[in-house]
Structure 1
Amino acid sequence: MDISASFSPPGLLLACALTAYLAFAAPALGKRQYDRLARRRDHEPGALVRMYRQWIAEEWVWVAVTALVLLLSPGVGLADLGFAMPSHFGKVAPAVIGMSGAFVISVVTARRLAGSGRTMPGLEGMRELLPRTSAERWHALAMSVTAGVCEEIVYRGLLIALGVGALGLSTTAAAALALAVFAVGHLYQGWMSMLGVAVAGCALTALYLTTGSLLLPILMHALMDIRGLVFTPQPARRTVGHAA
């Protein structure tokens, strides 16, 4: 993939400010919000919906900032941020088919585990995000689609272009740095879950660099989040019998 992004000083300043927020402030803030949700959810029915709304609004602000960076930087084209039709689809078709199959298998597995009171491995750190009501489920769907679109545009599109165009890194090095920021952004899920996020991020990054487009990464990212949030049922509560 060829990236030739040339950021203007105002665009570079704005992009660096957003990157610093994503790398340092957002992870700490997200963890604080998730911990507060865990404390309040059982006695505040609207807690999860409110947090989803906050996260959805925040991620679209990231995209708005990215759009402003583009407007301020004539030397950065849309294609430099992955806004292009995918190429070399034949090279990634097996991976896309495999990821789609894994999606179906994981949904079935999650439902079976939930029936026995267990959580899908890797999802323990986001258990409080699983919806319990129809309103929460719709917001989880909106959050999943938002994450698929916004996080790919920012973490994959903008940050890789920034690493190449501003830091002079190779595409591979810039992608690795962007992946690290992406994984840290999921700090609230705990270190073990962050490893799973990093693996998923590697697959999405490979799709992006191979096709030169964010289209497939956005689609696959949204599907993975829909599987994790919408199609993962709450584990059944185990009841403890009383001795006679």
Structure 2
Amino acid sequence: MSLVLFVALVVHLAVVSPLLGRRTYAALQADRSRYTRTFLAWIAELWGMAAVALLIVGLSPDLDLVDLGLTVPTDLSTFLGMITGLVIASVVVALVMRKSGAAMPGQAAFEALVPRSGGERWMAVAMSVSAGVCEEIVFRGLLIAMFTSMGAPRPVAAGLALALFVAGHLYQGWKGMIMVTLAGFSLTMVYFSSGSLVLPIVIHILVDIRSLLMARPAARPQPPVREVVGGGAA
């Protein structure tokens, strides 16, 4: 039963989620009023996938939560130091870029997701937390553990998980997917070096919050000004 669920989850991650994500993102670009419903749909999908991942672990005789990296880091002082440094660096960089008017790196790929109001900012926070927790459990935790248990070498398992992670960001286009590949690879290395998903989860949340909440929304296009000549419209 766990294998059947796993195959179904992989098919969803490889095909359904990328295509659905691109479609809903295009709809959001065309209609800004869809912001909240788009985020709620994506958040529900993320927590649904995480629930399926945990169910697969519960049904599998060869896996437990430790295999998914759901364990406390052994060196808490180093962990807290890294998180503190990351928070400070992220805030400083974001404030400098915002003050200068520069866009976040790769912002054009996810511009429609950048919040423009107080309500949208809360939705962006919820989305950042959901993505950080759920995507790490699914992609860095479950996929690597399952592919490894099925006989794949760990680097191959990590590569397959990364490919599925990047596919889920199809809506960002190839430039955005390159950035996602680099981010996913870095999070995988953090996971392997720490042996715990806690640090990748926290980093993922902070990066998403910085990217969404500290980004400067692109200027909205202004309607063309009709030039008046001799008292009549030109």
TM-score, normalization: structure 2? 0.88
> In structure 1, which of residues 128, 143, 161 is the aligned counterpart of residue 112 of structure 2?
128
Q: Any unmatched runs of 5+ in structure 1? A: 1-9
Q: 1:193 and 1:24, CA in 2 relative to 1: closer, same or farther beyond 3 A?
A: same
Q: What letter matches 1:141 in structure 2?
A: V
Please give the alpha-carbon distance, in whole angstroms, between the structure 2 residues aligned to 1:179 and 1:101. Answer: 28
In the other structure, the counterpart of 1:5 is none
Stretch of structure 1 that moved more, 60-69 or 80-89? 80-89
The answer to whether residue 62 in structure 2 is matched with residue 62 in structure 1 is no
The answer to whether the Cα contact below 8 Å between 2:94 and 2:214 also exists between their aligned partners in 1 is yes
> In structure 2, which of residues 137, 146, 150 is the aligned counterpart of residue 153 of structure 1?
137
Structure 1 residue 83, shift from structure 2 partner: 0.9
The answer to whether residue 93 in structure 2 is matched with residue 106 in structure 1 is yes
In the other structure, the counterpart of 1:6 is none
Aligned pairs for 1:1-244 within 5 A: 10-41=1-32, 45=33, 47-87=34-74, 99-113=86-100, 115=101, 119-166=103-150, 168-237=151-220
Structure 1 residue 237, shift from structure 2 partner: 4.7
The answer to whether the Cα contact below 8 Å between 2:73 and 2:194 also exists between their aligned partners in 1 is yes
Q: 1:96 and 1:200, CA in 2 relative to 1: closer, same or farther beyond 3 A?
A: farther
Structure 1 residue 92, shift from structure 2 partner: 7.7
Larger radius of gyration: 2
The answer to whether the Cα contact below 8 Å between 2:95 and 2:214 also exists between their aligned partners in 1 is no
User: What SS does structure 2 have at the residue aligned with 1:164?
Assistant: helix
Cα RMSD after superposing both structures:
2.4
Please give the alpha-carbon distance, in whole angstroms, between the structure 1 residues aligned to 2:44 and 2:92. Answer: 32
Number of equivalent positions:
227
Please give the alpha-carbon distance, in whole angstroms, between the structure 1 residues aligned to 2:189 and 2:164. Answer: 16
Percent identity of equivalent pairs: 44
Please give the alpha-carbon distance, in whole angstroms, between the structure 1 residues aligned to 2:75 and 2:193. Answer: 7
